[in-house]
Amino acid sequence: MYTLQEIGNRMLAAPTVMPVELELKFAQELMSIPIAVAAAGGDLWQPIIRRLYESHIDTFYSVTPENFPEFLRFADWLDEITKQPVAKSNFLDMTHFADHFRVKPF
């Protein structure tokens, strides 16, 4: 399991527009972090999620019926982080980002 910092560093080294497979890999790595730990990540979150979100804007049409459920699971996971008290105290709201990963392009 990677730490939030390690994932962030690797994501920053990745292309700005990532292939959808790489987006999914990062999403799965992020989801391996326990919700409470992720919610306490505070300032590390915004650049990581924003980077994934910005890439997804460009790769959105690469989402397929096969990989879409994993993006839905990631969106639900982001919602769970937003519900955590520590996330609320850090003004960490992932709702906008989560909703973007729920859009079905097919």
Residue range 32-85, pLDDT digits in tens: 999 888 888 877 888 899 899 999 999 999 999 999 999 999 999 999 988 888
Nearest to 72 by CA among 84, 58, 56, 88: 56
Who contacts 26 (Cβ-Cβ below 8 Å, separation ≥6)? 7, 10, 11, 14, 18, 52
* Range 5-10 average pLDDT: 94
Give the structural domain span for 85.
4-101
Q: How many Å apart are CA 101 and CA 26, to the nearest integer? A: 13
* In a domain? residue 106: no
